[in-house]
Structure formats: structure tokens, C-alpha cells
A and B are shown apart, each in its own frame.
Chain A
Amino acid sequence: MTVLMISALAAFTTPMRIDTTPASLLWLLPLVATISIVYKATKVGSVRLRPFVKEAGALFGSILVFIAVAALILYGIAWVVTGQLPGLLDSSAF
């Protein structure tokens, strides 16, 4: 029991190994779920399972859609600035 407890506590003293890959973006999902749940817990008039899950789910989805749209816009800007703009500047009369 003591050994189990010590090893459980020791797990909190060394970081996990998470590579910088596109898959690491999935760590966003639990955080968005928590934000949706806690925010809705402070907003709904009375907490009943079905309406609460529905409202939190809708907020979860809308946050993800907003993040996806923001990511697409930023990706587009980066694509223009790093991929298209240098070529245009090279071929210009300046």
C-alpha cells in the first residue's frame, strides 16, 4: 500500500513525455470539455442531467468550431506570408 502510494506521488514529480506532433493538439479536448462543463455549471438555472449535458455539449462544439476557424485563418495568413508573398516581391519591379 505504502509502495503504491509513494509511486503514485512520485509520478507527479517527473513530466510525461509528449512529442511536439499534431496528435499533441488532442490535449486541447479535455481542457475544452472542462471549460464547457464548469462554465455551464455556473450559468444554468437548475442542474438536471439531460439539459446540462446538451448545453455543455453545444458549448464544447462551438468552442471547437471557433478554434478550427481561427486555425484555418491563421494557417491561411502564414501560407500567404511565407509561401506567396516572397515570390510576388521577387518578381515585382521594386
Chain B
Amino acid sequence: MSAVFQAVFAPGFFTSDPVRVALLAGGMAALVSGIVGTFAVMRGQSYAGHALADISVTGGSASYLAGISPLWGFAGVGVAAAAAMDLIGVQRRRGRDLATGIVRGAALGLAALFLYWGTTSTSTTGATVTILFGSIFTVSGPTAGAAALFGAVALGIVAVLYRPLLLSSASPELAFARGIPVRATGALCLVAVALAVSLSALTIGAILSTALLVGPAAAALRLTSRPGLAVLWAAVIGLAATWLGVLLAYDSYYWPPVHQGWPVSFFVVALVLVFYLLAQLAAARRAGRRPGQARPLAAGRDGAGA
């Protein structure tokens, strides 16, 4: 029994400080991303979420140059970009991805410039890799504490807006007829997404931020057509993927070929994809003879009126 335990949890897993911080910060980011992500996926804002993660990283690198705390750079630029996206028309279905792409392209251009200015002394390689990947094992204690604040605000926005948000995601016309300010609700939702991704981009990196925002939520929306249940599933799946990923990464320290450990982001992303495919399989089996046709809540139309 203890041999099995030793094989699953490599020695020192529970006493290691970096692991504890990674479990905490990663778990927090996974929870917030899963819950906020359910709405982002329902509203078709996966791309906006991905772009916001990159953009808030740009803000982080800019705040280095300006000499302010990167934390505020992350959140401030993320929220500003969300406002810009809303302003130039992410609420329309067709032109939305284009507008998002333009904002992301311009922001990455700025990132290139900041890197050029900021890295005449240090290496560009490290900074680029951090922008692309981030690292879960390098979160410092105080940062994690302040980042928790963003998560709480994002969750607060979603909790307050829960019902109007569902209705306006499912049927903007109906929501409008009932007097819900659809535009403002959408903008606030985007702000919540921006806060959630800047929290996770800061603590666990840009790749994982997108993966945890979109993957668990999409899997959850496959499993159930009830929004409340979907939010719960998304949080559970995100948490499971993150913690299993951290565990595997810790175990992989002795794996070939380099014996330095495989990256956490790889494990978490792979687990998220596996969970999504499993959920898809479950949905297809439930749909019986029409596999591939089942799309519970795909457009958010089924459960929201309930």
C-alpha cells in the first residue's frame, strides 16, 4: 500500500513549499477560470479570453518599465483591453473575432517593443518564454495573496450578474425586452473574464490561463444543460486537471530524457484536453444514435430559460 502511495506521490510532495504554493495558486486560478469561463464559452468569447491573457502579460511587462507593481499592470491593462474590445464591437457576432485579433496584434506589437526596450540588459529569450508560457512554480506568496483579490472580484461580478447574464447570453432579444441592459451586462462579463485571465496569467502563465478558461467550461457544457451544474462541473474539472498536473509534474522529475521534470503546463493542458474529449464522448453516447449532434447548451439556449 505504501509502495503504491510512494509511486503516486513522489517523496516530499506534501512537504515541498513550491508545490504547496503551486497547488494553492493553481487551484484558485482553476476555480475562478472555470466559473467565469462557463459564461465566456457560452457567449462565444474563447478568443477574447485568450487575447486578454496575452494582453495583460503585455501590461505586466510594461509596468516593469514604468516602475509600478506588475500586479496592477496585469489587471489594469486587462480591464482596459476588455473595454477597448467592447467599444470596437466584440458584442456583435460576426466582426467580433476580427476586433479581438486587431487588439491582440497591436498589443503583441507593443509587447515586442517593451521587450526591446526592457531587455537590452537581460535576455529576450527568457522574457519571451515567460510571456508565452509563464511558470506555476515561481509564484511568490504576496503575489498570490493580491491575485486572490482579482479572483474574488471576478467571481463577485459573475455572482451578482448571474441571472441577467444567463438570459442575455441565451437570448439577447428576450433580455432586452425584459429591460436588462444587455450591453452593460456583456461589458461587465468581459471585465470579469479579463480579471480572471489576468489572475491566472500572472500566477500560472498565459497558456494555462486559456486552457483553464475554455477547456473545463466547454467540457462542463457538454456534460449538462443546466447552467448552475455546468459552473460546478467546470470548477471541478479545472481543479482536477490542475492538481493532477502539478502532481504529475512533480513525479516527472525522475522521468527521461532530461531528469529535470516535465513542464506543468504540458500536463495540465493535456489533462484538460482529455477531460474535454471524455465529456464529448459522454455527450455523444447520451445522444444515442445521433453522435456528434448533441449540443446541450451549445448556444446557451436550453437551460437559461429555466
A and B found bound together: no
